[in-house]
Amino acid sequence: MKRWCRQQLDRIGKLFSEISDEEKNSILFEKIGNFSFKEFKERVSSYSNSLINSFILSYSSGPFLELLLLLKEENLSKDKKDKLEEEAFKVVNPSKKRPQLEERDGQKLFRENVENLLKEKSVLIAEAPPGIGKTLAYLLPMMENIESKRFLISTNTKSLQEQIFTKDIKLASYNAKVSFSTINIKGISNYFCFSKYYENMESFHPLMKLATEGFIQISKTGDINSLKFMKGITYDDITCDSRYCQDLECPFSNICFFLRLKEKVLSSQIVVTNHYLTLINETLPKSILGDFEMIIFDEAHNLENVISDVYSYSIDFFEIFKILKYFIKKIKEHLKTIEESSLPYDCFNFFTEIYSYLNTLYEDFEILYENILEKVMLDEKEKDIYNFKMFENAKTYVLKIKQLLYSIKENGEKSVKILKDSKFKNLEIKQNLKYLVEESAKIYESFVVVSEANNSDYAFFYELNTKTKNLILNAILVNTGEQFSNFLRKKEKTSIVFTSATLKSSNDFAFFKDRIGINISKRKYKEEVFVSSFDYKNQMKIFCFKNIGDPNTEQFMDNVITFIRKVEQKRKRTLVLTTSYQQIDYIKERLNDPKFIFQVKEGNNDKILLQYKNRKDSILVGTNTFWEGIDLPGDLLEILVILKLPFLVPDDPVFLKKSENLKNKGFDPFNDYSLPYAILKLKQGMGRLIRRKDDKGEIYILDERIITKKYGKKVISEFFVEPAILDFNEFTGVL
């Protein structure tokens, strides 16, 4: 018997080694690599027989099917408790055994500030560098004042949002003395949609269906970010959106993940969400988040970008053509159903008018597109500023488009009311009509702004795809302070904390305060800079170089290649931060070795980081997202190389408009915007190195302007340690 069991286990192990990573991933759908046999068999044993049997009938025979059958027979795990993720809503109770938290000086001071803020209903702007424990510093006062109160924690990244909800709140609760409810909520597109899935499931590959059905069985939240396995579909095929969501009228409303979360948000005492949802909530007719005693904006250095995203507009001509074609097709199909129904005749008339308006609108948008395209093609630019003169020869069509969009929205709203009053049952028609009303309103609002192009708070520019000839007109908000000051005034009875490791630039908060409009709002506020508990002098060394060349020349990039080859010899995990994909491509062409991992525009950053972590001498070359938000403690990062100071692109339309506005107000665009922005981003990049009190490492900044330019002293004054200045021609001795 023992021999048979041994043979059975050997057979199972052999089969696991024979199946593909794709097959393993369809079971361990939340992972992107490093698939362990233990996790695999535990997952399979937790699945229902009907799920496995359904898959077996649809998949070709081979090692994978044999392995699944053997594991089900073995019933290797009786514990079917979900270990994948925490519930999105939970009640936290005080622990009987409360581990004592080691409170650091900076954390204690931060905590005291938050406690005082709750009494004063004012604003705190706090720079809290790594190592002080800022999250616990604001969580503990919340929990101690939780009775009959609600708190909102808003982050920029999903990773911090998850960390606060699944880890930090739990840790802080060990020292709390009361029970409280908490919830983690993201935007609607982050959640699984049963309606879409069951509409499309017949076309799913068997492995995709297996992963999705497993996800449905295991997930308590429906957060699609836990479903990393994708084959033959996109997230749009299985996630909620305004087009499909009919709330309680949906046949799947009783099991809908997102509806369950929405119902619980208003009763939750600590709500964790992201900046985008926090700001979008303010634009909704009815708040889905509710009111709060205090709002914490963590990762607040990113608020300017989020404010701009929420309140900006664009007209993508190809996207509009696609949307209009869809509605023309669907409304034509629905006309027959409406005509044959018992609905009031007015409804049929409204649908008939909508169909006519849509066709005319499509034609007018085509004429306008061709008119504008002819002009921009003469400029031979892929991106450039425009103004209201762009529409001078098409004023008639601009006016007609506005009128048609308004009429479509108005008729759509009337039709929605008739369908609701008549208790009309056709879900598809109601879905499409709701979608039509929302899209026409959104396009109308965007079109009015981009076509008038006369608001100094916005940067107006077009983007032309020279291959496809698609044209996008943008109106990007540049005066974020004016806009956000309205939020601050509206929340005058709410205490607000803005915190990040990088809020101060050139030794003050002026740059950040201008971005959020704190002075315009007239809100009372306090500024604090907390001291890190890290021993930076012994943990970090910074090196800057002279005689390496102008950073805008090819000679500089050649020296960069020479430098990276020298760093490579140290055989330590290294992160190279660039300021553009062109720099990445230049390095990639010249350093072709498996240890080098390069970020690509459409790549998966999670997979890139996994590759990097799996090799001890990896060198990761990245830009944009790798400047912040990644946590690589210990030997996961020992050398950080920064190629250039991260200044904004000087001919970017948004930067040009901000510069123009600053000049008009008597400010210097470089010293009052460009330089502070670069300092904040540089500090974010440098912050990737030391993440724990026992971390050690080196930072190499290759841009010699930090030494040769007058502003270099301002940049260096923000460093935690004084840098060593080296001659590039003699640097090999240091390495």
Query: Using 50, 70 and 90 to split pLDDT, how confident is the model at 86?
Result: low
Q: Which residue has tokens 């034509």?
A: 332
User: Does residue 81 surpass a pLDDT of 50?
Assistant: no
329 with 451, same domain: the answer is yes
Share of the chain above pLDDT 90, in %: 72
Three-class DSSP category at 475 = strand
* Nearest-angstrom CA–CA distance, 629 and 671: 26
Q: What confidence category does residue 78 fall into, taking pLDDT thresholds of 50, 70 and 90?
A: very low
Do 47 and 115 reside in the same domain of the chain? no
In a domain, 577, yes or no: yes
What's the pLDDT score for residue 341?
Answer: 84
Whose CA is closest to 578, among 644, 531, 521?
Answer: 644
Whole-number average pLDDT of the chain: 91
Is residue 659 in some structural domain?
Answer: yes
User: Could you tell me if 628 and 718 lie in one domain?
Assistant: yes
Between 42 and 88, residue with greater pLDDT: 42
Instruction: Give the Cα separation of 524 and 60 in Å (integer).
Output: 68
Q: Is 372 domain-assigned?
A: yes
Whose tokens are 């005509």? That residue is: 339
**Contact residues for 81 (Cβ-Cβ < 8 A; gap 6+):** none
Tell me, what DSSP letter sits at residue 647? Answer: P
3-state SS, residue 709: coil
32 — pLDDT class (breaks 50, 70, 90):
confident
For helices 63-74 and 2-18, the axis angle rounded to 10 degrees is: 140
Cα 332 from Cα 352, distance rounded (Å): 8
- Across the beta sheet with 270-274, the strand order is 89-92, 180-184, 270-274, 151-155, 294-297, 495-500, 123-127, 525-529
Whole-angstrom Cα distance, residue 305 to residue 487?
Answer: 16
Alpha helices in 457-516 (DSSP H): 480-490, 510-516
Residue 570 pLDDT greater than 60, yes or no: yes
Inside any domain, residue 584? yes
User: For residue 487, is it within any domain?
Assistant: no
340 and 231 within one domain: no
8 and 126 both lie in a single domain = no
pLDDT at 158 over 80: yes
Bigger pLDDT: 674 vs 4? 674
**Same domain as 195, residue 146:** no
Q: Provide the residue range defining the domain that includes 224.
A: 189-259
SS3 assignment, position 621: strand
Contact 304, 156 (CB under 8 A): no
- Residue 89 identity: F
- The answer to whether residues 168 and 196 belong to one domain is no
Q: Domain count of the chain?
A: 5
CA 300 to chain centre: 14
What six digits make up the tokens of 78?
Answer: 């009786």
Residue 557: inside a domain, yes or no?
yes
Q: Which residue has the tokens 């981009």?
A: 450
| Single-letter amino acid code for the residue at 248 | L
Within a 10 A sphere around the Cβ of 61, how many other Cβ atoms?
8
Residues 339 and 445 in one domain: yes
Residue 103 pLDDT exceeds 70: no
Q: Are 365 and 317 in contact (CB under 8 A)?
A: yes
For 172, the enclosing helix (H) or strand (E) is helix 169-173
80 occurs within a structural domain: no
The Cα 66–Cα 63 span in angstroms is: 5
Residue 562 and residue 613 share a domain: yes
Residue 287: what pLDDT? 92
Whether 236 and 320 map to the same domain: the answer is no
CATH of the domain at 512: 3.40.50.300
Query: Residue 82's pLDDT is what?
Result: 42
- Higher pLDDT residue, 591 or 340? 591
Strand, helix or coil for residue 288? coil
Task: Report the C-alpha gap between 501 and 549 in whole angstroms.
Answer: 31
Residues contacting residue 161 through CB under 8 Å, at least 6 positions apart: 155, 184, 186, 272, 273, 274
Lowest model confidence (mean pLDDT) among 15-19, 245-249, 549-553? 245-249
Residue 89 lies in a domain: no
Q: Can you tell me the distance from the alpha carbon of 158 to that of 82, in angstroms, rounded to the nearest whole number?
A: 21
C-alpha 561/C-alpha 564 separation (Å) is 5
Q: What angle do CA 474, 685, 576 make, to 5 degrees?
A: 100
* Confidence at 370, pLDDT banded by 50, 70, 90: very high
Q: What is the pLDDT of residue 551?
A: 95
What per-residue confidence (pLDDT) applies to 79?
A: 43
What pLDDT score does 271 carry? 98
What average pLDDT score do residues 177-189 get? 90
Task: Tell me the sheet residues that pair with 583.
Answer: none
Q: Please give the sequence-ordered ranges of beta strands (E in DSSP) within 26-178, or none if there are none.
A: 89-92, 123-127, 151-155
| Residue 174 pLDDT | 82
| Residue 227 pLDDT greater than 50, yes or no | yes
Whether 235 shows a pLDDT value over 50: the answer reads yes
pLDDT at 95: 57
pLDDT value of position 478: 96
Amino acid making up residue 613: K
Q: What is the mean pLDDT of residues 270-282?
A: 97
**Shared-domain flag, residues 609 and 710:** yes
Model confidence at 101: pLDDT above 70: no
Same domain flag for 724 and 576: yes
Domain end position, chosen among 74, 93, 125: 74
